Structure 1
Amino acid sequence: MRSGPLLRRVAATLALVVIPVTMSLSTMPKASAVELGPVSKLPLPRYVSLKSARVNARIGPGRDYPVTWLYLKPGLPVEVIQEYELWRRIRDSEGSEGWVYHSLLSGDRTAIAAPWLKGKATMIDVHQSPAVDAPLVARMEPGVVSKVDECASAWCEVTVSGRAGYVRQQDIWGVYPDEQFN
Protein backbone atom coordinates (compact mmCIF):
# COMPACT_ATOMS: atom_id res chain seq x y z
CA MET A 1 0.00 0.00 0.00
CA ARG A 2 1.32 3.42 -0.96
CA SER A 3 1.20 6.34 1.43
CA GLY A 4 0.32 9.67 -0.10
CA PRO A 5 1.81 13.07 0.73
CA LEU A 6 -1.03 13.88 3.17
CA LEU A 7 -0.45 10.69 5.16
CA ARG A 8 3.30 11.38 5.34
CA ARG A 9 2.61 14.95 6.59
CA VAL A 10 0.23 13.66 9.28
CA ALA A 11 2.78 11.06 10.42
CA ALA A 12 5.54 13.68 10.53
CA THR A 13 3.31 16.08 12.50
CA LEU A 14 2.40 13.34 14.99
CA ALA A 15 6.07 12.51 15.47
CA LEU A 16 6.81 16.14 16.26
CA VAL A 17 3.95 16.29 18.79
CA VAL A 18 4.53 12.92 20.45
CA ILE A 19 8.29 13.17 20.95
CA PRO A 20 8.29 16.46 22.93
CA VAL A 21 5.39 15.30 25.11
CA THR A 22 7.13 12.01 25.83
CA MET A 23 10.34 13.81 26.67
CA SER A 24 8.61 16.26 29.02
CA LEU A 25 6.77 13.46 30.82
CA SER A 26 10.01 11.57 31.43
CA THR A 27 11.61 14.62 33.04
CA MET A 28 8.70 15.33 35.41
CA PRO A 29 9.23 14.52 39.09
CA LYS A 30 7.38 11.32 39.91
CA ALA A 31 6.32 11.45 43.57
CA SER A 32 6.01 15.18 44.19
CA ALA A 33 3.81 16.02 41.19
CA VAL A 34 0.19 16.50 42.17
CA GLU A 35 -2.40 16.65 39.43
CA LEU A 36 -4.83 19.53 39.86
CA GLY A 37 -8.36 19.56 38.54
CA PRO A 38 -8.68 21.82 35.50
CA VAL A 39 -11.76 23.54 36.93
CA SER A 40 -11.45 23.50 40.73
CA LYS A 41 -7.62 23.59 40.87
CA LEU A 42 -7.94 21.05 43.71
CA PRO A 43 -5.95 17.78 43.79
CA LEU A 44 -7.08 14.83 41.69
CA PRO A 45 -7.93 12.35 42.96
CA ARG A 46 -9.40 13.60 46.25
CA TYR A 47 -12.02 12.48 48.73
CA VAL A 48 -15.23 14.42 49.30
CA SER A 49 -18.68 13.48 50.58
CA LEU A 50 -22.19 13.55 49.17
CA LYS A 51 -24.08 16.65 50.29
CA SER A 52 -27.59 15.55 49.39
CA ALA A 53 -29.83 12.64 50.38
CA ARG A 54 -30.49 12.00 46.68
CA VAL A 55 -27.59 12.10 44.21
CA ASN A 56 -27.77 10.84 40.64
CA ALA A 57 -24.60 9.42 39.12
CA ARG A 58 -24.68 9.59 35.33
CA ILE A 59 -22.67 7.89 32.59
CA GLY A 60 -21.45 11.26 31.32
CA PRO A 61 -20.99 14.87 32.46
CA GLY A 62 -24.43 16.36 31.75
CA ARG A 63 -28.14 16.05 32.48
CA ASP A 64 -28.72 14.48 29.07
CA TYR A 65 -26.77 11.36 30.08
CA PRO A 66 -28.68 8.46 31.67
CA VAL A 67 -28.54 7.88 35.43
CA THR A 68 -26.62 4.71 36.28
CA TRP A 69 -26.67 4.92 40.06
CA LEU A 70 -28.76 6.70 42.70
CA TYR A 71 -27.09 7.47 46.04
CA LEU A 72 -29.49 7.93 48.96
CA LYS A 73 -27.10 8.53 51.87
CA PRO A 74 -25.86 12.06 52.60
CA GLY A 75 -22.32 12.15 53.97
CA LEU A 76 -21.21 9.09 52.00
CA PRO A 77 -17.52 9.44 51.06
CA VAL A 78 -16.63 9.35 47.37
CA GLU A 79 -13.44 9.98 45.45
CA VAL A 80 -13.33 12.68 42.76
CA ILE A 81 -11.23 11.28 39.93
CA GLN A 82 -11.98 13.67 37.07
CA GLU A 83 -13.52 17.08 36.37
CA TYR A 84 -15.37 18.49 33.39
CA GLU A 85 -16.87 21.97 33.69
CA LEU A 86 -19.40 21.75 36.59
CA TRP A 87 -19.38 17.94 36.71
CA ARG A 88 -17.20 15.62 38.77
CA ARG A 89 -16.50 11.98 38.00
CA ILE A 90 -16.62 10.06 41.25
CA ARG A 91 -15.77 6.57 42.48
CA ASP A 92 -17.43 4.98 45.51
CA SER A 93 -16.04 2.43 47.96
CA GLU A 94 -17.27 -0.45 45.79
CA GLY A 95 -15.51 0.89 42.70
CA SER A 96 -18.63 2.17 40.89
CA GLU A 97 -18.04 5.35 38.90
CA GLY A 98 -20.31 8.08 37.58
CA TRP A 99 -20.63 11.80 36.92
CA VAL A 100 -22.21 14.03 39.59
CA TYR A 101 -23.06 17.73 39.50
CA HIS A 102 -20.50 19.62 41.61
CA SER A 103 -22.99 21.27 43.98
CA LEU A 104 -24.10 17.85 45.25
CA LEU A 105 -20.63 17.27 46.74
CA SER A 106 -19.15 18.62 49.95
CA GLY A 107 -15.55 19.10 51.05
CA ASP A 108 -16.46 17.57 54.43
CA ARG A 109 -14.39 14.46 55.04
CA THR A 110 -16.14 11.25 55.94
CA ALA A 111 -15.12 7.59 55.86
CA ILE A 112 -16.64 4.14 55.73
CA ALA A 113 -15.48 1.58 58.26
CA ALA A 114 -13.76 -1.27 56.37
CA PRO A 115 -16.31 -1.73 53.56
CA TRP A 116 -14.23 -4.67 52.31
CA LEU A 117 -15.28 -6.53 55.49
CA LYS A 118 -19.01 -5.82 55.13
CA GLY A 119 -21.08 -8.90 55.94
CA LYS A 120 -18.32 -10.48 58.02
CA ALA A 121 -18.53 -10.95 61.78
CA THR A 122 -15.97 -8.32 62.73
CA MET A 123 -15.88 -4.84 64.24
CA ILE A 124 -13.63 -1.79 63.84
CA ASP A 125 -12.32 -0.42 67.14
CA VAL A 126 -12.61 3.28 67.97
CA HIS A 127 -10.03 4.17 70.64
CA GLN A 128 -9.88 7.01 73.15
CA SER A 129 -6.42 8.01 71.87
CA PRO A 130 -4.34 7.03 68.81
CA ALA A 131 -2.91 3.77 70.18
CA VAL A 132 -3.96 0.14 69.79
CA ASP A 133 -3.83 -0.39 73.57
CA ALA A 134 -5.90 2.76 74.36
CA PRO A 135 -9.37 2.21 75.87
CA LEU A 136 -12.25 1.73 73.44
CA VAL A 137 -14.96 4.39 73.11
CA ALA A 138 -16.96 2.55 70.43
CA ARG A 139 -16.92 -0.24 67.90
CA MET A 140 -18.14 0.16 64.32
CA GLU A 141 -19.58 -2.46 62.03
CA PRO A 142 -18.05 -2.52 58.55
CA GLY A 143 -19.96 -0.09 56.34
CA VAL A 144 -20.69 2.50 59.05
CA VAL A 145 -20.06 6.09 57.93
CA SER A 146 -18.21 8.46 60.27
CA LYS A 147 -17.05 12.06 60.10
CA VAL A 148 -13.25 12.38 59.81
CA ASP A 149 -11.85 15.29 61.80
CA GLU A 150 -8.13 14.75 61.18
CA CYS A 151 -5.53 12.14 60.26
CA ALA A 152 -1.90 11.89 61.39
CA SER A 153 0.64 9.14 62.01
CA ALA A 154 -1.58 6.34 60.60
CA TRP A 155 -4.54 7.27 62.86
CA CYS A 156 -7.68 9.29 62.11
CA GLU A 157 -9.89 11.06 64.61
CA VAL A 158 -13.50 10.27 63.76
CA THR A 159 -16.94 11.05 65.13
CA VAL A 160 -19.61 8.39 64.91
CA SER A 161 -22.99 8.44 66.65
CA GLY A 162 -21.90 11.43 68.73
CA ARG A 163 -18.74 9.73 70.00
CA ALA A 164 -15.27 10.92 69.05
CA GLY A 165 -12.26 8.65 68.97
CA TYR A 166 -9.42 7.30 66.88
CA VAL A 167 -9.33 4.53 64.27
CA ARG A 168 -6.39 3.11 62.39
CA GLN A 169 -6.21 4.76 58.98
CA GLN A 170 -6.00 1.34 57.30
CA ASP A 171 -9.43 0.40 58.73
CA ILE A 172 -11.42 3.07 56.88
CA TRP A 173 -12.16 4.04 53.27
CA GLY A 174 -12.22 7.77 52.57
CA VAL A 175 -8.63 8.72 53.37
CA TYR A 176 -5.46 7.85 51.52
CA PRO A 177 -2.69 5.76 53.10
CA ASP A 178 -0.35 8.07 55.01
CA GLU A 179 -2.56 11.11 54.27
CA GLN A 180 -2.34 13.78 56.94
CA PHE A 181 -4.74 16.68 57.49
CA ASN A 182 -6.52 18.56 60.26
Structure 2
Amino acid sequence: MKRIIGLTLVCFTLLSDPAFAATKSIGKDNVNIRSGPSLNDKIIYEAPLGYPIKIEKEQGKWVFFRDWENDAGWVYKSFVSEIPTAVVLVKVANVRNSPGTAHKVVAKVHRGEIYKIVGKKGDWIKLGYYSGGEEIGWIRRDLLFGD
Protein backbone atom coordinates (compact mmCIF):
# COMPACT_ATOMS: atom_id res chain seq x y z
CA MET A 1 0.00 0.00 0.00
CA LYS A 2 2.86 2.39 0.84
CA ARG A 3 4.42 1.69 -2.56
CA ILE A 4 1.20 2.61 -4.38
CA ILE A 5 0.87 5.85 -2.44
CA GLY A 6 4.54 6.70 -3.01
CA LEU A 7 4.31 5.94 -6.73
CA THR A 8 1.14 8.03 -7.00
CA LEU A 9 2.87 10.97 -5.31
CA VAL A 10 5.89 10.70 -7.62
CA CYS A 11 3.66 10.61 -10.73
CA PHE A 12 1.61 13.56 -9.48
CA THR A 13 4.79 15.56 -8.77
CA LEU A 14 6.21 14.83 -12.23
CA LEU A 15 2.97 15.67 -14.02
CA SER A 16 2.54 18.94 -12.12
CA ASP A 17 6.14 20.08 -12.78
CA PRO A 18 6.30 22.64 -15.65
CA ALA A 19 9.36 20.83 -17.02
CA PHE A 20 6.98 17.95 -17.84
CA ALA A 21 4.23 20.16 -19.27
CA ALA A 22 2.49 18.99 -22.43
CA THR A 23 3.44 20.88 -25.60
CA LYS A 24 0.53 21.57 -27.91
CA SER A 25 -0.47 24.37 -30.30
CA ILE A 26 -3.25 26.83 -30.96
CA GLY A 27 -5.63 25.31 -33.53
CA LYS A 28 -7.33 28.44 -34.87
CA ASP A 29 -6.15 31.87 -36.01
CA ASN A 30 -6.43 34.93 -33.74
CA VAL A 31 -7.42 33.08 -30.56
CA ASN A 32 -7.99 35.23 -27.49
CA ILE A 33 -5.65 34.47 -24.60
CA ARG A 34 -7.17 35.49 -21.28
CA SER A 35 -5.97 36.36 -17.79
CA GLY A 36 -8.28 33.74 -16.26
CA PRO A 37 -10.42 30.71 -17.19
CA SER A 38 -13.57 32.59 -18.19
CA LEU A 39 -14.99 34.67 -21.03
CA ASN A 40 -15.34 37.44 -18.45
CA ASP A 41 -11.57 37.55 -17.88
CA LYS A 42 -9.45 40.15 -19.66
CA ILE A 43 -7.99 39.36 -23.09
CA ILE A 44 -4.23 39.77 -22.70
CA TYR A 45 -3.22 38.96 -26.30
CA GLU A 46 -4.21 37.06 -29.44
CA ALA A 47 -2.37 33.95 -30.59
CA PRO A 48 -2.02 32.90 -34.26
CA LEU A 49 -2.74 29.50 -35.75
CA GLY A 50 -0.04 26.99 -34.82
CA TYR A 51 1.30 29.01 -31.87
CA PRO A 52 3.15 26.49 -29.66
CA ILE A 53 2.18 26.38 -25.98
CA LYS A 54 3.23 24.32 -22.95
CA ILE A 55 0.15 23.41 -20.97
CA GLU A 56 0.68 23.51 -17.22
CA LYS A 57 -2.82 22.79 -15.93
CA GLU A 58 -6.46 22.40 -16.89
CA GLN A 59 -9.54 23.81 -15.21
CA GLY A 60 -12.88 22.71 -16.61
CA LYS A 61 -12.96 23.59 -20.31
CA TRP A 62 -9.90 25.85 -20.04
CA VAL A 63 -6.12 25.29 -20.08
CA PHE A 64 -3.38 27.39 -18.52
CA PHE A 65 -0.11 27.58 -20.48
CA ARG A 66 3.23 29.32 -20.97
CA ASP A 67 4.57 30.36 -24.34
CA TRP A 68 8.03 30.82 -25.86
CA GLU A 69 8.47 34.22 -24.18
CA ASN A 70 7.39 32.77 -20.82
CA ASP A 71 4.08 34.65 -20.98
CA ALA A 72 1.21 32.80 -19.36
CA GLY A 73 -2.49 32.75 -20.09
CA TRP A 74 -5.71 30.81 -20.36
CA VAL A 75 -7.28 29.49 -23.55
CA TYR A 76 -10.51 27.60 -24.18
CA LYS A 77 -9.63 23.91 -24.53
CA SER A 78 -11.40 23.45 -27.89
CA PHE A 79 -8.91 25.94 -29.45
CA VAL A 80 -5.94 23.74 -28.51
CA SER A 81 -4.55 21.42 -31.18
CA GLU A 82 -2.47 18.25 -30.95
CA ILE A 83 -0.47 19.31 -34.04
CA PRO A 84 3.16 19.70 -32.91
CA THR A 85 4.66 23.08 -33.74
CA ALA A 86 7.72 25.11 -32.81
CA VAL A 87 8.75 28.75 -32.83
CA VAL A 88 12.29 29.93 -33.63
CA LEU A 89 14.04 31.40 -30.56
CA VAL A 90 17.12 32.95 -32.19
CA LYS A 91 17.51 35.87 -34.58
CA VAL A 92 18.47 33.65 -37.54
CA ALA A 93 19.06 29.89 -37.71
CA ASN A 94 20.22 27.49 -40.39
CA VAL A 95 17.95 24.69 -41.57
CA ARG A 96 19.81 21.73 -43.04
CA ASN A 97 18.95 18.91 -45.42
CA SER A 98 19.83 16.28 -42.78
CA PRO A 99 20.32 16.32 -39.01
CA GLY A 100 23.86 17.48 -38.23
CA THR A 101 25.98 20.59 -38.64
CA ALA A 102 28.05 19.01 -41.42
CA HIS A 103 25.03 18.92 -43.76
CA LYS A 104 24.05 21.50 -46.37
CA VAL A 105 22.07 24.59 -45.31
CA VAL A 106 18.82 24.64 -47.29
CA ALA A 107 17.01 27.58 -45.63
CA LYS A 108 17.23 30.19 -42.93
CA VAL A 109 14.49 30.79 -40.35
CA HIS A 110 13.97 33.81 -38.12
CA ARG A 111 12.96 34.57 -34.54
CA GLY A 112 9.23 34.26 -33.93
CA GLU A 113 8.44 32.20 -37.04
CA ILE A 114 6.18 29.20 -36.43
CA TYR A 115 6.64 25.84 -38.14
CA LYS A 116 5.06 22.42 -37.99
CA ILE A 117 7.23 19.65 -36.52
CA VAL A 118 7.31 16.78 -39.00
CA GLY A 119 10.10 14.68 -37.53
CA LYS A 120 12.61 14.23 -34.72
CA LYS A 121 16.02 12.58 -34.51
CA GLY A 122 18.10 13.00 -31.38
CA ASP A 123 18.74 16.71 -30.81
CA TRP A 124 17.33 17.66 -34.21
CA ILE A 125 13.81 18.63 -35.31
CA LYS A 126 12.52 18.40 -38.88
CA LEU A 127 10.43 21.46 -39.75
CA GLY A 128 7.68 21.90 -42.31
CA TYR A 129 5.24 24.62 -43.24
CA TYR A 130 2.05 24.56 -41.18
CA SER A 131 -0.25 24.93 -44.18
CA GLY A 132 0.31 22.28 -46.79
CA GLY A 133 2.92 20.46 -44.73
CA GLU A 134 5.80 20.96 -47.17
CA GLU A 135 9.00 19.91 -45.42
CA ILE A 136 11.83 22.43 -45.06
CA GLY A 137 14.63 20.60 -43.26
CA TRP A 138 16.40 19.99 -39.96
CA ILE A 139 17.27 22.38 -37.14
CA ARG A 140 18.83 21.91 -33.70
CA ARG A 141 16.22 21.46 -30.98
CA ASP A 142 17.82 24.08 -28.68
CA LEU A 143 17.03 26.81 -31.25
CA LEU A 144 13.28 26.19 -30.89
CA PHE A 145 10.45 26.32 -28.37
CA GLY A 146 8.01 23.45 -28.62
CA ASP A 147 8.58 19.85 -29.47
Determine if the TM-score, normalized by the shorter chain, exceeds 0.5: yes
Please give the alpha-carbon distance, in whole angstroms, between the structure 2 residues aligned to 1:137 and 1:28.
Answer: 47
Please give the alpha-carbon distance, in whole angstroms, between the structure 2 residues aligned to 1:174 and 1:55.
Answer: 18
Aligned to 1:101: 76
Residue identity (%): 25
Q: Does 1:111 align with 2:86?
A: yes
**CA offsets, 1:91-134, max 9 Å, x none?**
111111111000111010111112xx34xxxx211111111011
Please give the alpha-carbon distance, in whole angstroms, between the structure 1 residues aligned to 2:28 and 2:51.
Answer: 9
Structure with the larger RCO, 1 or 2 (CA within 8 Å, 6+ apart):
2
Q: Does 1:124 align with 2:93?
A: yes
Q: Pick from 116, 122, 126: which aligns with 1:153?
A: 122
Q: CA deviation at 1:164?
A: 2.4
Amino acid at match of 2:138: Y
More strand by share: 2
Please give the alpha-carbon distance, in whole angstroms, between the structure 1 residues aligned to 2:24 and 2:8.
Answer: 31
Amino acid at match of 1:100: V
Moved over 3 A (4+): 24-30, 160-163
Please give the alpha-carbon distance, in whole angstroms, between the structure 2 residues aligned to 1:27 and 1:141.
Answer: 42
Q: TM-score, normalised by structure 1?
A: 0.66
Q: TM-score, normalised by structure 2?
A: 0.81
Q: CA deviation at 1:26?
A: 10
Coordinate RMSD, CA, aligned: 2.4
Where do 5+ consecutive residues of structure 1 fail to align? 1-23, 37-43, 176-182
Aligned residue pairs: how many? Answer: 136
Trace 1:167-182 onto structure 2 (pairs within 5 A). Answer: 167-175=139-147
Q: Are the aligned partners of 2:24 and 2:85 in contact in 1 as well (CA < 8 Å)?
A: yes
